[in-house]
Amino acid sequence: MNYKRPKADVVVVGLGWAGSLIAEELTRAGLNVVAIEQGPWHDTHTNYTPTLSADELRYGRRREMLRPPSKETVTYRNNSSQTARPIRDWSYWVQGYNVGGAGTHWAVNSWRFTPADFTMATRVKERYPNEKLADGLIVQDWGVTYDDLEVHYDRFEKIAGISGEAGVINGKKTGKGNPFEGSRTNEYPTPPLVRSRWNDIFHKTTTEMGYHPFPIPAGTIGAPYKNPLGIELAPCTYCGFCGFYGCGNFSKSSPNICVLPALMDRRNMTLLTECTVTKIEKSKDGKTATGVTFIDSNGDTGFQPADIVCVTAFQLDNVRLLLLSELGKPYDHARQEGVVGRGYNFQTMNYAWLYFEDEALNPFISTGALATRIDNFNGDNFDHTGLGFLGGAGIQSLSDQATPLSMTDRLPEGTKKWGSEWKHAFKHSYQNYAKIQGQGTSYSHVDAYLSLDPTYKDEYGLPLIRQTFDYNENDRRMARYIHERVKEICAKTGAKSWKTKAYPDSHNSPYTPYDSGHTIGGAAMGLDPNTSVVNRYQQHWDAHNVFVMGASSYPNNAGYNPTETLAALTLWTAHHIINDYIKNPGSLVR
Amino acid sequence: MKKTLTLVGVLIVAALVIYIAAIQYDLHKSYPESQQNLTGDALKAQVARGKYLATASDCVACHTAPKGGKPFAGGYPIDTPFGTILSSNITSDKSTGIGSWTQEQFDRAVRHGKGSHGYLYPAMPYNAYARLTDQDLADIWAYMKTVPAVQNKVVENQLPFPYNQRWLLGGWNLLFFHASTFTPQAGKSAAYNRGAYLVEGPGHCAACHTAKNALGGDSSATLQGGNLSGWHAPDLTPNPHTGLGNWTTADIAQYLKTGAGHNSVATGPMAEAVHNSTQFLTDSDLNAIATYLKAQPASDHQAPAALTASNAQMQLGKRVYNSQCSACHISSGEGVNRMIPGFVKNAQVNANSPASLVHMVLTGADGVKTASNPTGAGMPRFDWKLSDQQIAGVLTYIRNRWGNAAPAVTSDEVAKARKALKADSWLGAKMKQ
């Protein structure tokens, strides 16, 4: 059966962080919003009660909060000469499958990117005019700057109750926090988390090495807090069940806790759950969208007409929906033309796994974002002259592993993984294991892209998204440089043994343990319609009433987790829809 | 002997005749309308006043069926110790609602407890609404006439014999019902008198907060706490141990406005009252209610000697508290302001009856959501997770810790509540078998 719903001012596709934030802004501005979400309704009090939420078997192993690969998946290959195959088991892609999206189960590392991350093309010209970059690397400005986004970063941090310690306020270094960060107008809304024992060791080691350690900003609340929407948040209990889990204590920033309780009571807000949007419909002249088509939980096909379409699904889903809707020119790898799917990037990881001898690291006291970090080697915080690469990594001591099952293989090399020897070793390593993470930048490359798979289809017969990705030469050079820094730190921590790995030394694979879940780009924002899908307001170049929001907009990834930046970009776009677009619909550029 | 029996028989018959005559007289009494019907802007203003008063009276709470019932269309089940009563349809529908009523009929029902089938059951708080002034009654009626008609036939009387005999309520009224409209008390402030009117009249606070006698009438311990439907509505007098002694008037007003205040968060029936009614009252009316409550004589509930830490139940309770409760309610028992109740000198925790505490732990509860505090945090259910003994232990512990003192909770009490509330059984019991 086909049916048509009453027209809305705005239809929002996907109700994660981006969708919730844009819906909150636009309904508050008086617009009539209909949000369409693929997953079911989840709320904190009902779905993640503290008596049930910390269940590692259910959520950590069986990944109950994630979209199952049997529902929809990605096909994957390293390069265009290979045939992509569908990912059929849990991989590093952790897509949400409920109202709140991935914003419900994220591990809450909540970062601002550095000012340089938004303007690397300009920066390279000015600072490194003679450097030769790796062949095929795509370096382009976002069109939006850190200064444009500061007020929106600030607003998101207040909505989410982010805990942390400012390093730079109004251009002045505070002597605490991260001295390399972009200037902030305000301190964090809640105080930083208390350091773990491992954070203490790392803090001492890196201070002695002359670096600048600081507590990372986190969406785990540092103190009781009331956000600007009137919602109360409770202080984090350091239970450590963050990534893959919903927080039943109202302590972890999520759309479900921080936005939806206020949003859902508004009369001009409508939510359709368990409905999958399959296409953005275009007007006859093809210059605007008329609404979206979706398939509901009965299998019926609905059409939601709207004046404005906000595409706010997960990054991979955003790109796929644009390709399925034939909105924008798809990237043609052979000709290196077209934009949709181009500019794909990721995250470049380094790790060290360390084993102490007589420590009591008490890993059961942790959060998804309990880390002390140095940014001395992140982004463009250090001089790259003569290094042959762009970017870098934040190097941090992450105490995020309270979950016991996930630690059962954290044993020194050569230890047996069964029987009494394993039991004995695990008992020892439980209190003595620590990890260092080098979370690195990623730049797009002409050979890395997203496209529709020619063979594999979803349950509705629509092609799956195909990912073609491997690390590029810039990634390898950068990762090796960071690898050396990580090894230097390991040697000074007092650990008995350690193992390190720079991920770009191997081919990328979606099954690599401990790899990042940060899949980025494919619908890049920018200043030139020949190299970007959306303009600096995340407005589609070819259809002015379509706004695409999410990490799909990033032409490059910073050495940080992407969520807070996509939230700030969403609020930036909301500001321009409300203040400029509604009054004068049309392109916001020119 | 035979003569005596005959005499007794004659007397009983005579009493019955008199009783029936009195009831017939009572049921046919007329209540002339004292207000003129208004038109135009004056009517609009009257309807707005009526809506506010209907909200203050929380009509919608009981006259709307749970889970998606249309407002005022009735069907809400009220569980009384005598059985279940369904609320009536009071929309303007002519066949199944009150759309064909006159103001006099409305007055008969609201202030005099007499409906179209005879006497109303006092689950409808007409004994409180009797305090409504003529003007306010007329205003509410003006509003009710604007409530959209919903056709919904409700068979209100679901009670077993003999409680299904409405005529018996004439006698109940004789004993417990004193119809008299509110008159301000001379020598008291305007805030006090307004508060008294709201508490005694539309707010019908005593319906839950005053203990009932065996026949369901109000006891003389006015507003000193009462039990119903497995909840304990706490003492509202300024008793520092079990009542509002440690609450400021601002605390009380904030609680009624937001659903959270002092160290408490509204749950259960009070969450409904805050959600549907008190959050919409003006700050001045909320302050008046608080002023009146703070001016009441304190109940004479005394704090017993607290149990000591060496008590076996206290030791068990401490272990359960630390493992199950402390993450949210904080190891110091302080809770989180406006969100998670604190236990330190908490009046509900110190109440003689642990009914609400047992209820909360067994079935959990939704937190109240209000416009000014939309969070909606809630309490998870522990019926499946904790044994009767563990629940009794942890409640005994919080009732005798952090300056609290209250009688121990027994496993038996928990077991009875588990059954009465149809809570799940403890999973551990199955494992033991």
Which among B368, B317, B372 is positioned nearest to B340, based on CA atoms?
A: B368
Range with lowest mean pLDDT among B144-158, B184-198, B385-399: B144-158
Task: Please determine, for residue A459, whether its predicted confidence score (pLDDT) is greater than 80.
Answer: yes
Q: How far is the C-alpha of B357 from the C-alpha of B349, rounded, in Å?
A: 7
Instruction: Read off the amino acid at residue B346.
Output: N
Q: Are A500 and A487 in contact (CB under 8 A)?
A: yes
For A72-96, the pLDDT digits (tens) are: 999 999 999 999 999 999 898 899 9
Q: How far is the C-alpha of B133 from the C-alpha of B112, rounded, in Å?
A: 13
CA distance B385 to chain A (A): 8
CA distance A264 to chain B (A): 10
Contact A229 B373 (CB under 8 A): no
Query: Using omega within 30 degrees of 0 as the cis cutoff, is the peptide bond preceding B66 cis?
Result: no
> What residues of chain A lie within 8 A of the CB of B340, using their CB?
234
Residue A400 CB contacts under 8 Å (≥ 6 apart), including other chains: A107, A240, A242, A243, A366, A367, A368, A369, A370, A371
Contact B373 A232 (CB under 8 A): yes
**What is the C-alpha R_g of chain A?**
23
pLDDT of residue B23: 75
pLDDT of residue B229: 85
Q: How far is the C-alpha of B160 from the C-alpha of B213, rounded, in Å?
A: 20
* Cβ atoms within 10 Å, residue A221: 31
Q: How far is the C-alpha of A274 from the C-alpha of A44, rounded, in Å?
A: 18
**For A256-268, what is the mean pLDDT?**
96
For A65-74, the pLDDT digits (tens) are: 999 999 999 9
β A232-233/A74-77 pair status:
unpaired
For B169-203, the pLDDT digits (tens) are: 777 787 777 778 899 999 999 999 999 999 999 99
**Higher confidence at residue A404 or residue B254?**
B254
**For A60-64, what is the mean pLDDT?**
94
Token readout for A368 is 């998804």
B340 vs A: CB within 8 A: yes
CA distance B62 to chain A (A): 22
Q: What is the mean pLDDT of chain A?
A: 96
For A144-176, the pLDDT digits (tens) are: 999 999 999 999 999 999 999 999 999 999 999
Residue A117 CB contacts under 8 Å (≥ 6 apart), including other chains: A146, A379, A441, A556, A558
Q: How far is the C-alpha of B164 from the C-alpha of B375, rounded, in Å?
A: 42
pTM of the model: 0.93
Token readout for A462 is 């629509």
Q: For residue A28, how far is the Cα from the chain centroid?
A: 26
Task: Please determine, for residue A113, whether its predicted confidence score (pLDDT) is greater than 90.
Answer: yes
Paired residues of A398 in beta bridges: A371
Contact A261 B374 (CB under 8 A): yes
CA distance B74 to chain A (A): 24
Task: Please determine, for residue B166, whether its predicted confidence score (pLDDT) is greater than 80.
Answer: no
Task: Please determine, for residue B433, whether its predicted confidence score (pLDDT) is greater than 60.
Answer: no
pLDDT of residue B35: 63
Contact B377 A229 (CB under 8 A): no
**For B360-386, what is the mean pLDDT?**
94
Contact A231 B375 (CB under 8 A): yes
Contact B328 A234 (CB under 8 A): yes
Location of structure tokens 């629940």: B391
DSSP track, B102-140 = -HHHHHHHHHH-EETTEEPPTTS-HHHHTTS-HHHHHHH
CA distance A232 to chain B (A): 6
Contact A232 B377 (CB under 8 A): yes
Residue A549 CB contacts under 8 Å (≥ 6 apart), including other chains: A18, A22, A310, A311, A312, A318, A538, A566, A569, A570, A573
Give φ, ψ of A198 to 5 degrees: -65, -40
Q: Are A176 and A165 in contact (CB under 8 A)?
A: yes
> What residues of chain B lie within 8 A of the CB of A228, using their CB?
none
Q: How far is the C-alpha of A466 from the C-alpha of A455, rounded, in Å?
A: 10
Share of chain A above pLDDT 90, in %: 95
Cβ-in-10-Å burial (0-12, 13-18, 19+) of B365 comes to buried
3-state SS class at B157 = strand
pLDDT of residue B262: 87
**For A460-478, what is the mean pLDDT?**
98
Residue contacts between A and B (CB atoms, under 8 Å): 62
CA distance B317 to chain A (A): 17
Q: Which 8-state DSSP code applies to residue B321?
A: I
b/e B373-385 (16+ beta carbons within 10 angstroms → b) = bbbbbbbbbbbeb
Location of structure tokens 């275009």: A282
Contact B336 A46 (CB under 8 A): no
Which among A21, A250, A232 is positioned nearest to B372, based on CA atoms?
A: A232
* Cβ atoms within 10 Å, residue A203: 19
Q: Are B338 and B415 in contact (CB under 8 A)?
A: no
For B131-143, the pLDDT digits (tens) are: 999 999 999 999 9
Task: Please determine, for residue B24, whether its predicted confidence score (pLDDT) is greater than 80.
Answer: no
Q: How far is the C-alpha of A293 from the C-alpha of A275, rounded, in Å?
A: 10
pLDDT of residue B34: 67
Instruction: Find the closest chain A residue to B382 by CA distance.
Output: A51
Paired residues of B370 in beta bridges: B373
Instruction: Find the closest chain A residue to B377 by CA distance.
Output: A45
CA distances to A14, A149, A299 from A18, rounded to whole Å, are 8, 15, 26
Task: Please determine, for residue A482, whether its predicted confidence score (pLDDT) is greater than 80.
Answer: yes
> What residues of chain B lie within 8 A of the CB of A247, using their CB?
none
Instruction: Find the closest chain A residue to B335 by CA distance.
Output: A234
Task: Please determine, for residue B167, whether its predicted confidence score (pLDDT) is greater than 80.
Answer: no
B428 vs A: CB within 8 A: no
Q: How far is the C-alpha of B278 from the C-alpha of B203, rounded, in Å?
A: 9
Which of A20, A42, A51, A232 to mutate against chain B (most B CBs within 10 Å)? A232
**SS3 labels along A408-437:** CCCCCCCCCCCHHHHHHHHHHHHCCEEEEE
* Extended beta strands in A365-469, E state: 371-374, 393-398, 433-440, 442-445, 449-457, 463-468
CA distance B146 to chain A (A): 21
Q: Are A407 and A355 in contact (CB under 8 A)?
A: no
3-state SS class at A297 = coil
Q: How far is the C-alpha of B328 from the C-alpha of B100, rounded, in Å?
A: 53
Contact B382 A248 (CB under 8 A): no
Task: Please determine, for residue B361, whether its predicted confidence score (pLDDT) is greater than 60.
Answer: yes
Contact B339 A51 (CB under 8 A): no
pLDDT of residue A213: 98
Q: How far is the C-alpha of A65 from the C-alpha of A97, rounded, in Å?
A: 6
For A216-245, the pLDDT digits (tens) are: 999 999 999 999 999 999 999 999 999 999
Host H or E run for residue A301: strand A301-311
Task: Please determine, for residue A369, whether its predicted confidence score (pLDDT) is greater than 70.
Answer: yes
Query: Catalytic amino acids of A?
Result: 518
Location of structure tokens 């776009």: A573
> What residues of chain A lie within 8 A of the CB of B380, using their CB?
49-52, 248
Instruction: Find the closest chain B residue to A232 by CA distance.
Output: B375
B382 vs A: CB within 8 A: yes
Instruction: Read off the amino acid at residue B76.
Output: Y
pLDDT of residue A281: 98
Give φ, ψ of A366 to 5 degrees: -160, 175
Q: What is the mean pLDDT of chain B?
A: 91
> What residues of chain A lie within 8 A of the CB of B371, using their CB?
265
Instruction: Find the closest chain A residue to B381 by CA distance.
Output: A51
- Select the residue of A50, A249, A265 nearest B374 (Cβ to Cβ): A265
Task: Please determine, for residue A531, whether its predicted confidence score (pLDDT) is greater than 90.
Answer: yes
Contact B366 A49 (CB under 8 A): no
pLDDT of residue B392: 98
* Cβ atoms within 10 Å, residue A35: 28
Contact A261 B376 (CB under 8 A): yes
Q: How far is the C-alpha of A539 from the C-alpha of A310, rounded, in Å?
A: 9
Please measure the distance between the N-terminal and C-terminal CA atoms of chain B and give it in whole angstroms. Answer: 65
- Select the residue of A230, A237, A249 nearest B374 (Cβ to Cβ): A230
Q: How far is the C-alpha of B191 from the C-alpha of A112, rounded, in Å?
A: 52
Which of B330, B368, B375 to mutate against chain A (most A CBs within 10 Å)? B375
* Cβ atoms within 10 Å, residue A267: 7
> What residues of chain A lie within 8 A of the CB of B381, using their CB?
49, 51
CA distance A68 to chain B (A): 27
Please measure the distance between the N-terminal and C-terminal CA atoms of chain A and give it in whole angstroms. Answer: 43
Share of chain A above pLDDT 70, in %: 100
Q: Are A140 and A531 in contact (CB under 8 A)?
A: yes
**For B320-343, what is the mean pLDDT?**
94
Q: Are A576 and A537 in contact (CB under 8 A)?
A: yes
Residue B432 — pLDDT band, cuts 50, 70, 90? low
- Select the residue of B336, B366, B380 nearest A50 (Cβ to Cβ): B380
Contact B377 A235 (CB under 8 A): no
Where do the H-state alpha helices sit in B151-267?
A: 169-176, 190-200, 206-209, 249-258
**SS3 labels along A191-221:** CCCCCCHHHHHHHHHHHHCCCCCEECCECEC
ipTM of the complex: 0.89
B375 vs A: CB within 8 A: yes
3-state SS class at A337 = strand
- Select the residue of B337, B366, B369 nearest A261 (Cβ to Cβ): B369
Range with lowest mean pLDDT among A120-124, A394-398, B227-231: B227-231
> What residues of chain B lie within 8 A of the CB of A226, using their CB?
338
Which among B231, B179, B192 is positioned nearest to B208, based on CA atoms?
A: B231
Paired residues of A436 in beta bridges: A352, A397
Which among B359, B361, B351 is positioned nearest to B399, based on CA atoms?
A: B351
Task: Please determine, for residue A506, whether its predicted confidence score (pLDDT) is greater than 70.
Answer: yes
B327 vs A: CB within 8 A: yes
Residue A227 CB contacts under 8 Å (≥ 6 apart), including other chains: A158, A159, A160, A161, A189, A233, A258
